[in-house]
């Protein structure tokens, strides 16, 4: 079957131009500047006035299956991904049970093959005791190993230095690290409890002072030190502070062994938003000051940040009740990542051509994803069409996450995802997730 997307504004590999893309079955056959009306196509999509991007590759999501499916599952959150222009995701291991054995990892792949609307893969979770298993992971199927160097949602903290050193020294795959120093966090909690006479929870505005800049920096600095000592490939997740940016280099991603990810929450929200959004924006690491956010936004274009993801982490609203200690940490963001970045481009924060670098090209390069992340002949047709004049308010539209809420509820977006194509087939179109479409397992070279 042949499909043509005609007259789109194509944004890809550092440039934009009006052109057309020819798809044959699953793959991109041609990328044309202008149009080609001489051939017959089974499906013709008129994209006049719309922007065509490579499908977003989100390297950091929590879809909660198995064990936590009351709040989300692979079917519901992959639908949400498709509605946001995300065509591939890599999911984290802190489910219940955690993905820390080969059998549990295989179970996730079976679930995704049956239920995922977009392409998928899964991280393996490191623990204090499973370093021997890392050598048995298939590097063509697994994007990396997740190391929780700070306690977060789930019980996967790797807190023994000898275990960390062994993981860093022997891992055959990229290490993706959650970096927050648990000792500093616990000391901050004790100080707050002393100050507030044994109180067991505090207003959420104190979350960023408990999970502080110091806690983030000290853990990230230690991870970078270990990576340099051992030669490990290290990708630090959800960098949230200006100070952490000092740890990274400004050079092409192909030349780096230590890379940095920013997530939408830290690019969109600051501590000033707690007054209006409360625990809806509570996440680990915490959102930080406006000055930290400004530094992260600058790093989107100066080369210090390599990848933008979501850390999509659904919880029921009932689980977000409480304050800095008791409310669950995490928020559902995957449907709004691409449009949020495009809004930032409109605000002059980064050029539109940089968005595919951060959300498709660089994830594909970093993880060596086979034939995805670019609009190129011979690559899988993973694409998204976005309307620059969509003008929609989130709460009046439709969102698909199973948990049923988002901190974006009151936000109005100018940009709107109109169509998401996964492996050559339309998975989402103008508010409708197409039944029967299934993604493929990602492969890594």
| Whether residues 28 and 173 fall in one domain | no
With bands split at pLDDT 50, 70 and 90, how would you rate the model's confidence at 155? low
For 208-295, list the strands marked E by DSSP. 234-236, 258-263
pLDDT band for position 34 (cuts 50, 70, 90): confident
Could you give the number of structural domains in the chain?
2
395, 346: one domain: no
- Chain segment 374-390, per-residue pLDDT in tens: 999 999 999 999 999 99
Alpha-helical (H) ranges within 307-385 are 337-346, 354-356, 362-367
Domain that holds residue 277: 129-367
pTM greater than the 0.85 cutoff: yes
**pLDDT band with cut points at 50, 70 and 90 for residue 196:** confident
153 has pLDDT over 60: no
How does pLDDT run across 307-323, given as a tens digit for each residue?
999 999 999 999 999 99
Q: Residues 174, 37: one domain?
A: no
| Confidence grade of residue 152 (pLDDT, cut at 50, 70, 90) | low
CA–centroid distance for 249 within its chain: 21
Residue 67 forms part of a structural domain: no
* Contacts with 249 (C-beta within 8 Å, 6 or more apart), sequence order: 256, 258, 303, 304
Q: Average pLDDT in the 361-380 region?
A: 98
Provide the CATH number for the domain around residue 239: 3.20.20.140
Residues with active-site annotation = 311
How far apart are alpha carbons 15 and 373 in whole angstroms? 15
Q: Which of 320, 336, 367 finishes a domain?
A: 367
Say if residue 138 is in the same domain as residue 187: yes
Residues 6+ apart with CB under 8 A from 28: 21, 22, 375, 376, 377, 378, 379, 380, 381
388 shares its domain with 258: no
State the pLDDT at residue 150. Answer: 66
In terms of domains, do 328 and 305 share one? yes
Q: Is a pLDDT exceeding 80 seen at residue 151?
A: no
385 and 358 in a single domain? The answer is no
């Amino acid at each position: 079957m042949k499909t043509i997307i005609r007259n789109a504004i194509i944004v890809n590999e550092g440039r934009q131009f009006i052109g057309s893309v020819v798809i044959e079955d699953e793959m991109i056959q041609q990328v044309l500047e202008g149009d080609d009306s001489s051939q017959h196509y089974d499906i013709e999509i008129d994209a006049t006035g719309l922007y065509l991007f490579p499908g977003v590759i989100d390297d950091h999501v929590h879809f909660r299956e198995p064990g936590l499916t009351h709040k989300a599952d692979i079917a519901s959150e992959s639908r949400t991904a498709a509605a946001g222009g995300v065509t591939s995701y890599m999911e984290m291991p802190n489910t219940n049970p955690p993905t820390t054995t080969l059998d549990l990892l295989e179970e996730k792949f079976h679930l995704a093959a049956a239920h995922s609307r977009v392409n998928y893969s899964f991280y393996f979770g490191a623990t204090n005791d499973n370093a021997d298993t890392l050598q048995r992971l298939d590097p063509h199927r697994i994007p990396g190993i997740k190391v929780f160097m700070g306690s977060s949602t789930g019980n996967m903290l790797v807190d023994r230095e000898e275990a960390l050193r062994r993981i860093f020294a022997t891992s055959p795959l990229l290490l993706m690290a959650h970096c927050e120093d648990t000792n500093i966090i616990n000391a901050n909690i004790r100080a707050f409890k002393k100050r507030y006479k044994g109180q067991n929870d505090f207003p959420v505005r104190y979350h960023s002072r408990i999970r502080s800049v110091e806690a983030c920096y000290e853990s990230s600095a230690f991870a970078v030190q270990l990576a340099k000592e051992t030669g490990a490939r290290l990708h630090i997740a959800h960098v949230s502070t200006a100070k952490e940016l000092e740890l990274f280099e400004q050079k092409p991603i192909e030349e780096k062994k230590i890379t940095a990810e920013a997530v939408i929450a830290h690019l969109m929200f600051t501590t000033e938003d707690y007054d209006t959004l409360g625990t809806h924006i509570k996440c680990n690491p915490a959102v930080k000051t406006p000055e930290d956010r400004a530094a992260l936004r600058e790093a989107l274009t100066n080369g210090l940040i390599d990848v933008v993801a979501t850390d999509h982490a659904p919880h029921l609203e009932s689980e977000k009740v409480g304050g800095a200690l008791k409310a669950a940490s995490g928020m559902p963001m995957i449907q709004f990542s691409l449009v949020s970045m495009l809004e930032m481009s409109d605000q002059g924060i980064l050029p539109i051509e940089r968005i595919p670098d951060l959300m498709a090209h660089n994830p594909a390069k970093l993880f060596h994803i086979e034939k995805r992340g670019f609009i190129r002949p011979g690559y899988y047709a993973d694409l998204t069409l976005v309307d620059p004049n969509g003008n929609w308010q989130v709460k009046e539209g439709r969102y698909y996450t199973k948990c049923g809420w988002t901190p974006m509820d009151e936000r109005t977006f100018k940009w709107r995802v109109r169509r998401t194509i996964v492996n050559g087939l339309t998975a989402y179109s103008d508010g409708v997730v197409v039944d029967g479409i299934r993604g493929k397992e990602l492969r890594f070279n």
